[in-house]
Amino acid sequence: MSENWMRRAIIWVASLSACAGLAAFAPVINAQLLRSDSAPQAASANPSTTAQSAAPTATVPTGKRRLEQDVTISGDTAWTDTGINVAPGEHIIATVTGKMHYNDNQTDADATGLARNFKDLIRILPYNAAGRGAVIGRVGDASFAQPFLIGAKCNVISYSGGALSVGLNQMSIDTGTGYYKVHIEIYPPDSTFIAVKQVQTMPGIDNALFTKIPRRIADKAGDPGDMVNFIIIGNEDAMKNVFQTAGWVHVDADVKATFLHGFMESMSKDSYLTMPMSILYLFGRPQDYGWAHAEPIQVVMSRNHLRIWKAPFEINGQMAWVGAATHDIGFERDQRNNGLTHKIDPDIDLERNYVEKTLTSTGLVGEVEHFTPQNPLTTAKTATGGEFHSNGQVLILKLNDQAAKTQTASSR
């Protein structure tokens, strides 16, 4: 991105933030959940194009109920810890009653949320595909947990497990009056549930493989940049499916088109996430895909993002995707041209771990390996002069059969 366009981006986002008077909400991911409910979602004036749940329908649980509990949500609390720890594969069945009232809206919200209107274009909600005031949930660490819609009734399966929280689809500065009563039932995993396997070795993952893979990606001039730190094994549809199911957004490639897209479509978080990445190279060509997840208002400055290339070889007879993931945390001087560029978190292993947590929580990853190549890369500088460090491990994710079978979410 040129310095001129970067400055315009900063001014645009800053002006939107000031106009909206919003604190940035950080929709971060851990558990992507299967859902099956008949409750209609709130109508949207400008619905999200990113499916936050693209996984297949959850079946009716066959096991004996493990526990049940009632939780009350009030309008002045964003999230409520239920005190329930959900194991991987367990069903969460919830039914909701009650109403919520917001002073700036004449209609009370029920558990499915209010129909979205023009003002919602400047509201950044935890679950952007549902209406304000809807009942939502999350499982696991808030730093990674992907919110899911509970609505009036839901049946979801947690693939990662963790602490269950329930909450309201509203901004942190937004409060309603009223309450919802959430009746929660937990059922054990079905007999068909298969947890993600952490393995020591995978066929085809060895040092001979890494003689075919450059350790670092590069800019157009060939200057070395970010470290190659993950590989995904699976076909193209499966690869897209696992990212979209985990809530990652396919990034726009053209700068001007992105700004037009942002102005014309809305101020929804998806529009911000598509702020373009610079073009970098591996295997002699630009990235095939860019994926991002970020704080929506501050996306110009801070976002989790990665680039991925289709490998010019197969691994054990399967298509492979080689990627580099980093976390933008601000701006710094580009030492090549004294321009402005993104500053990455120097501890790039944190972003590799973020990729692992978000993708394995979808139920679409079969096996995980952490491989350390010979002479691992542990410290270096990017093409722009920024430093980074790593333990040298490369994350290997092998997608399962379900990833290929499940229809992918809408893509950009």
Q: What is the rounded distance in angstroms from the CA atom of residue 313 to the CA atom of residue 319?
A: 7
Cβ(157)–Cβ(90) under 8 Å? Answer: yes
256-275 mean pLDDT: 47
Residue 72 CA to residue 166 CA, distance in Å, equals: 9
Measured in residues, the chain has a length of 412
| pLDDT recorded at residue 66 | 97
Q: How much is the pLDDT for 310?
A: 98
Give the tens place of pLDDT for each residue, 354-401: 999 989 988 899 999 999 999 999 998 776 677 888 999 999 999 998
- Please state whether beta strands 249-250 and 289-294 pair in parallel, antiparallel, or not at all (unpaired): antiparallel
Residue spans of alpha helices (H) in 290-400: 349-360
Higher pLDDT, 96 or 23: 96
How do residues 53-75 score in pLDDT, each as one tens digit? 434 457 889 899 999 999 999 99
Mean pLDDT value across residues 262-269: 44
Tell me whether residue 195 is exposed, middle or buried, using C-beta atoms within 10 angstroms of its C-beta: 0 to 12, 13 to 18, 19 or more: middle
Q: Over 70: is that where the pLDDT of 44 sits?
A: no
Among 153-157, 336-340, 359-363, the least confident range: 336-340
Identify the DSSP state of 239.
H
Q: What is the DSSP string of 181-214?
A: EEEEEEEPPPTT--PPEE-S--TT-SHHHHTSS-
Write down the pLDDT at residue 8.
44
371: closest CA among 310, 409, 315, 328? 315
Is pLDDT at 38 greater than 70 in this prediction?
no
| pLDDT, tens digit, 9 for 90 and up, residues 74-131 | 999 889 999 999 999 999 999 999 999 998 888 899 999 998 776 666 667 888 778 8
Residue 155: is its pLDDT beyond 60? yes
Q: Express each pLDDT in 206-262 by its tens digit.
A: 999 999 999 999 988 898 989 999 999 999 999 999 998 888 888 865 544 444 444
Q: ∠355-149-303 over CA atoms, to 5°?
A: 30
**How far apart (Å, rounded) are the C-alpha atoms in residues 182 and 40?**
17
Q: Give the model's pLDDT for residue 152.
A: 96
pLDDT of 48 over the 80 cut: no
CB 303 within 8 A of CB 292: yes
Give the pTM: 0.74
Backbone φ and ψ for 144, nearest 5 degrees, come out as -130, -15
pLDDT digits (tens, 9 = 90+) for 178-211: 999 999 999 999 988 888 999 999 999 999 999 9
Residues 377, 390: contact at Cβ < 8 Å? yes
Q: In the predicted model, is pLDDT for residue 9 greater than 50?
A: no
Judge contact between 115 and 43, C-beta under 8 A: yes
Q: Euclidean distance between the first and final Cα of the chain, in Å?
A: 20
Q: Radius of gyration over alpha carbons of the chain, in Å?
A: 22
Select the more confidently predicted residue: 159 or 271.
159
- Residues ≥6 apart with Cβ < 8 Å to 191: 62
Spatial separation of the C-alpha atoms in residues 62 and 388, rounded to whole Å? 49
Q: Provide the pLDDT for residue 303.
A: 67
Write the DSSP string, 73-104.
EETT-SEEEEEEEEPTT-EEEEEEEEEEE-TT
- Identify the residue with better confidence: 226 or 50: 226
Q: Do 355 and 384 meet the contact criterion of CB atoms below 8 Å apart?
A: no
> Coil, strand or helix: which one is 401?
helix
Residue 10 predicted with pLDDT over 70: no
Q: Domains in the chain, ordered, with CATH?
A: 31-187 (2.60.120.430), 197-405 (no CATH)
Q: Is the pLDDT of residue 327 over 50?
A: yes
Q: Within 10 Å of residue 63's Cβ, how many Cβ atoms?
A: 12
Averaged confidence pLDDT in the chain: 78
Find the helix or strand (DSSP H, E) in which 242 lies: helix 236-245
Give CA–CA dist 155/126, Å, rounded. 20
At residue 24, the pLDDT reads 32
pLDDT tens digits for range 304-321: 779 999 999 999 999 999
